[in-house]
Amino acid sequence: MPSRASRSLAAVWAILRKECRSEWRTRYGLNSALLFAVTALVAVSFGAGRLGDRVDVLAAMLWIVLLFATLASLSHAFVREVEGQTLSMLRRVASPTEIAIGKLLFNLLFLAVLEIVTVPLFLVLMGAPPPRWGTFLALLALGSLALAVSSTLLGALIAQSRGRGALFAGVSFPVLLPVLAAAVSGTRAQWQQLPAGGEIRLLAAYGAALMAASLLLYDHLWEE
Amino acid sequence: MEIKLEGNGLGHRYGRGRGLEPLSFALSGPGVVAVTGPNGSGKSTLLRILAGLLRPSAGASTLRVERCEFERAERRKVTGWASPDLHFYGELTVRENLEFAAEARGLTGRSVAVREVVGSVGLTSRLDDRAAALSTGMHQRLRLAFALLGSPPILLLDEPGSHLDAAGKGHLVEVLTRVRATTRVVLATNDPGERDLAEQSIALAGRGLGDTA
């Protein structure tokens, strides 16, 4: 008989695969996220030209593009289940924590795909100076983790509420502000050849704290 | 198989409206019990509580299989649930929906298990159709297949015959006849034909949501 841990892993894996398959069939989030990112980058590069000497603006722009391109899609991971009335089916096959971890992994994968397309395009179109790759990739990875963990948690919390769109915007602002501030500050610092260790540690700690809070909360979600 | 299903003062309120009047019952061993009552009397609510999807606002339910007691969060492992509230991923095929459920539950021999349950409800020819393309009756068959997946010892079937044609109802009778010796089936229904399949019944008398008392 499979152990409890291996059953949970199987459930998380099944949910991740199901999310990928659903996204591939519907292109619900990826198309709109990519369209937004590419359009925003092309429009800014036409309007403002190359901004290689303004690394403060570049750092802010990079994270604004990533945030807006992903936010609507990430929060919709749970909203889609409620609107498609499939949450009961999902709850019959996995625990809330397994569901949330499966969706978090999908959100991370989604962000990774988006960044693989968006970040090189950003560096080229904006004429950004060459980044310090180790620091830059660490900031991207930890910033994305914090973004995905917080959006998944907030998406799960607001999914069954009325007026969830407005609620998500209101609730996500204070939760995402520390992520954005640390990510922008760290990205600017690495372009200015300044140390960014503080921002990296902050993003890692914030992501870990949100993850711990999520794991404590998920099993109490969707109580009817 | 030792199966015990008990309710002790089990009741539920939706806001100010009553969803299920307090109810006590004790069922043991395999067999079919019909839960009957007027619309809004709490048949679906009772089944959602027993399935672990709803926390009762009064009383408690106990579910034991082979001397193991299953708390609310664990009940999905030993119960199969089919209800009009159960919906599937329209963008996935019948096979993909059921294989996803089997995989998430950690069932071994998933493909065989899916083919078996789909065959038992007469849905084999639609296995590779997307769920969104199914008719209401075919959707109902898919719900039954989902409940039967993994041969759970307890089946909670909420109006299982609704929207089924004669062939679909035939499949339902065949399934119930086959599993009744090994499975405790709780059948929420007002259909006289389905009621006749049960050897016991629980009659709910409440007025349900209309009753704000």
Q: Do A91 and B104 touch (CB under 8 A)?
A: no
Question: Measured between CB atoms, does B107 come within 8 Å of chain A?
Answer: no
Mutate which of A28, A87, A93 to disrupt the B interface (most B C-beta within 10 Å)?
A93
Q: Is A72 or B105 the better-scoring residue by pLDDT? A: B105
The per-residue pLDDT for A28 is: 76
The per-residue pLDDT for A217 is: 87
pLDDT mean over B69-83: 94
Question: Measured between CB atoms, does A83 come within 8 Å of chain B?
Answer: no
The token pair that represents B69 in the structure block? 């007691």
**Helix (H) / strand (E) containing B28:** strand B17-28
pLDDT at B206 over 80: no
Question: Measured between CB atoms, does B96 come within 8 Å of chain A?
Answer: yes
B-chain CB neighbours of A95 within 8 Å are 73
Question: Measured between CB atoms, does A27 come within 8 Å of chain B?
Answer: no
The per-residue pLDDT for A1 is: 55
Q: pLDDT tens across A24-69, in order?
A: 998 878 888 889 899 999 998 888 888 878 999 999 999 999 998 8
Q: pLDDT tens across A80-135, in order?
A: 888 889 999 999 999 999 999 999 999 999 999 999 999 999 999 999 999 999 99
Judged on CB neighbours under 10 Å (0-12, 13-18, 19+), A43 is exposed
pLDDT at B208 over 70: no
What are the φ/ψ torsions at residue B41 (nearest 5 degrees)?
-80, -10
Task: Return the exposure string of A171-189: e unless at least 16 CB atoms fall within 10 Å of the residue's CB, then b.
Answer: bbeebbebbbebbbbbbbb
pLDDT at A190 over 90: yes
Are A193 and A131 contacting, i.e. CB atoms less than 8 angstroms apart? no
The per-residue pLDDT for A2 is: 64
Question: Measured between CB atoms, does B69 come within 8 Å of chain A?
Answer: no
The residue among A41, A36, A156, A163 whose CA lies nearest residue A106 is A156
Closest chain B residue to the Cα of A24, Cα to Cα: B91
The per-residue pLDDT for A140 is: 96
CA distance A198 to A188: 13
The per-residue pLDDT for B213 is: 47
Closest chain A residue to the Cα of B96, Cα to Cα: A18
Question: Measured between CB atoms, does A22 come within 8 Å of chain B?
Answer: yes
Percent of chain B having pLDDT more than 70?
96
A-chain CB neighbours of B48 within 8 Å are 224
Q: What is the dihedral of CA A203, A208, A213, A217, to 10 degrees?
A: 120
The residue among A181, A200, A187 whose CA lies nearest residue A115 is A187
Q: Is B188 or A169 the better-scoring residue by pLDDT? A: B188
Q: DSSP 3-state assignment of B3?
A: strand
Closest chain B residue to the Cα of A92, Cα to Cα: B76
Are A168 and A158 contacting, i.e. CB atoms less than 8 angstroms apart? yes
Q: pLDDT tens across B119-146, in order?
A: 999 999 999 999 999 999 999 999 999 9
Q: Do B88 and A95 touch (CB under 8 A)?
A: no
B-chain CB neighbours of A21 within 8 Å are 91-92, 96
- How much is the pTM? 0.90
The per-residue pLDDT for B207 is: 60
Q: pLDDT tens across A156-173, in order?
A: 888 777 777 777 778 888
